[in-house]
A and B are shown apart, each in its own frame.
Chain A
Amino acid sequence: MLADDSVLLRAGIAELLRLDGLDVVGEAGTADELLEQVRATVPDVVVVDVRMPPTHTVEGLVAARRIRQQWGSAVGILVLSQYVETRHAVELLAEAPDGIGYLLKDKVLRPEDLGEAVRRVGSGGSALDPSVVSHLLRRRRDDAGLTSLTPRERDVLALVAEGRSNRSVAATLFLSEKTVESAITRIFDKLGLGEDPAAHRRVRAVLTWLQG
């Protein structure tokens, strides 16, 4: 399910997702249309633009919140934004990051990243834009736990916060999954977070810690 007020862009994203092997079950131009279609088809994932008519402010966020209220984590939500606001992202993921994503709209130019984010959100995971993560990390830059991390460990932490799986982290950093796993254990130790095997739960732990 795809919601964006720009027809051309919507068509382009839809085609990209189809090329990536995903099924686009519906398209909407406004928040109201989106809610109507979600009610009709109950899709696995909704990709929604933040700014939509009529006011072009945060209609997408409002719609996302309503979908979450009504269908819970059954419908994954990936919010696309022209600009990144940490506040919006934090508000969106604060309650439960399961099946929620918040990405900069530019990500559609990297179809593989977009596709992966949709899949992750669809399977109950999270997808947080790296720029949001870096803002969050900078907020806590003076934290003793964070300064005790090695640069490599910090990279791993950022990718974990984005919602990536161990395999994805490993692939991105050209490491073995085993190395990533042990890095995550060390990070959780240093930050004083109890180790949690479930991938999406550890995202929540990291995000909660980052928000202080």
Chain B
Amino acid sequence: MAAVGAGPTLDRMTARASEATPRGRPVPVPRVTPSTRGYTLAAALACAAAVGFGLYAEEGRRALGRSWDVALLDLIAGLVFVGAGAAVFLWRPANRCWWLLVASGATWFLGTLAGVGYDDLAMVGFVTISWHYYFLAHLLLAFPTGRLPARRDVVLLAAIAAVLTVKSLVRLLLYVPPDGTGCQCAQNRFTGVDDGRWYNLAEATFPWVISVLFALVVAEVVVRWAHSSGAGRRMLTPVLIMSAAVAAQIAYSQVIRQELAWAVVRSQDLFVLVVGLRAIAAYSIVVGLRRTGQARAAMAGAVSELDADPARLTAALRSALEDPSLEVLPASSDAVPSPPPGRAVTVIEGDHGPLAALIHDEALLEDPGLISAVTAAIRLTTDNERLRRELQERLDELAASRVRIITAADAERRRIERDLHDGTQQRLISIALQLRLALARAEDAEDPNGRRSLGLDFAVRTAVEELAGAVGEVRALARGIHPAILTDAGLQAALESLVDRSTLNIRTDLDVAVEPSAGAASAAYFCVSEALTNIAKHAHASDVVLQARGRPGAVEITIADDGVGGAAETELGSGLSGMRDRLAAVGGSLTVESPASGGTRVRVVVPCA
């Protein structure tokens, strides 16, 4: 015990707390950084407090005849609570426990005033000597949120406050000095009685009453602990043990030792015990609060792992909140189920009505920050999932519309090709034919003047030649728009036809096992066509290899040449980059390798069923 009461307890305590990291990988802990002004204020207060406590200790030593070590222990017993309050305030300013800690520490010092040599000041200390019990009880009941969770807690605290008030009033109004019970005052100018009967009766009753009330406080903490699961228990356990110890100490020193005069501990040792208990109590409270901080940190870690999968969300929340029975209910269920005892329901509200309902350990409600972190996490997850779904829908729609556009364009090309072959070309041939026939008829007809016939003959032959040229052009145009062979005989035949028509010397190795869809085949065909045109224009190649391979689910076509290479894709012409888009729309791809050292390799992949 003696080791605990040393001065640097507070420093050691905070140092240990900040070293603590949550389970698993390190997670950044949200930290409240006080402003510079806050630090200046704290430093000034610390200086003032140091001077004040120095004077206080010296006065106590001189007036009460205390030894230095007792005076120091007394100082520590109060200061550990003030220090713990300051620590809580620094990194959990929203938590109201800090002021209870500070108040409990500050009121501790009031009793010492009873020993000073000035009557009124000594009376102040004498009257208020037991009020630190109130703040200690309040602290134990309000831990960890700083709020009183149940009505009975308020009643219990009110009872304690009432008992203390009665005690204070009795001391103020009925105490007749000096009687050697503690007040170092010569006279009490507030009293109206001559003898101390009533005062003695009240003083004899108080220890019993306060011991019972503290037993109730412990009982309340035990009940709360029993109703908690996982996280809640872990948080409450140190406080539970400490409150039991403190209550036992109060009972012992107030009743057993004083009233029943059954002393097993020397007065000096008891005081050391009390100071040690108080130090450990303050430490437990700070550690307990630190635990909720860790839960929040774990929550922050959980948020980063959240995704749209509800099972993973539940698992992440369960592990972050250390509540293995936690349930996430979908928002659609209108009726929020009534929770079993010890469980609580939290409905998470989104922008458009409830998103989900959580069934969890009641203890989690003790840290509203934790619940709001969970709420934020679930909102984030739900929003995320909704956004991702919307994005995916849009992407799907976009891809579908691109396919529709390409398909429509392909169909249009085929229609134009058919119109050119079966309409325009037929018609031109037909006109030429009719001209031929007209000429033949004119030749047959009797014509006495042969010269006019010769002129007609020349004109018609010229017209027919022109028409034949037009027919050839239309044929080339139709092939450029859509090669009929692709529809008639498939991709492999179309590629062979392409090779037949090329001026290049092309070696082929074609094995298109499965025919791709019309759109994919057409995209692949025009890609190869474009690549061959580029080779003929720029590559100065002597050897060109065209290879096509049907693989499961795809056809892979490679066009490789031994030309100059070094063709940047931008220089390959807008034709090929247009092809890339067209290929992408049908789920295919285009890669071009053209190192400066020479040679170009174009790889086209199109999917097939």
Contact = CB atoms under 8 A, between A and B. Distances in A.
Interface of A: 5-6, 8-9, 12-13, 15-16, 19, 51, 56-58, 82-83, 85-88, 105-106, 108-109, 111, 135, 138-139, 141-142
A87 B493 contact: yes
Interface string B453-496: 00000000000100110011001001100001101110001001
Nearest to A85: B485
14 contacts: A13-B433, A16-B433, A16-B440, A19-B437, A58-B488, A82-B426, A83-B479, A85-B488, A87-B485, A106-B472, A109-B432, A109-B464, A111-B436, A139-B500
A135 B437 CA distance: 32
Contacts of A86: 496-497, 500
Contacts of B493: 85, 87
Contact of A83 (B426, B432, B464, B475): B475
B270 interface: no
B421 A51 contact: yes
A44 B467 CA distance: 31
Contacts of A108: 429, 433
Contacts of B533: none
B433 A9 contact: yes
Contact of B497 (A58, A85, A111, A138): A85
B187 interface: no
Given A8-B430, A51-B422, A135-B500, 10 more contacts: A6-B422, A19-B437, A83-B421, A83-B484, A85-B485, A85-B489, A87-B489, A88-B485, A106-B468, A135-B501
B468 A57 contact: no
A85 B498 CA distance: 10
Contacts of B501: 135
Nearest to B490: A87
Interface in B394-435: 418, 421-422, 425-427, 429-430, 432-434
Interface string B200-215: 0000000000000000
B325 interface: no
B21 interface: no
A118 B467 CA distance: 23
A139 B430 CA distance: 33
A12 B434 contact: yes
Contact of B430 (A12, A57, A87, A135): A12
A82 B440 contact: no
B392 interface: no
Nearest to A136: B500
Contacts of B332: none
A88 B488 contact: yes
B505 interface: yes
A193 B468 CA distance: 37
Closest 6 CB pairs of A and B: A12-B433, A9-B430, A135-B500, A82-B421, A8-B430, A6-B426
A16 B471 CA distance: 19
Nearest to B507: A142
Nearest to A53: B422
A13 B426 CA distance: 12
Nearest to B467: A109
- Interface hub of A16, A82, A108 (most chain B Cβ within 10 A): A82
A5 B418 CA distance: 14
A135 to B, nearest CB: 4
Interface string B430-451: 1011101100100000000000
Contacts of B497: 85-87
Contacts of B418: 56
A165 to B, nearest CB: 25
A58 B505 CA distance: 30
Contact of A106 (B421, B422, B471): B471
B485 A16 contact: no
Nearest to A57: B488
A13 B432 CA distance: 11
A88 B427 CA distance: 24
A17 B433 CA distance: 11
A13 B437 CA distance: 9
Contacts of A142: 505
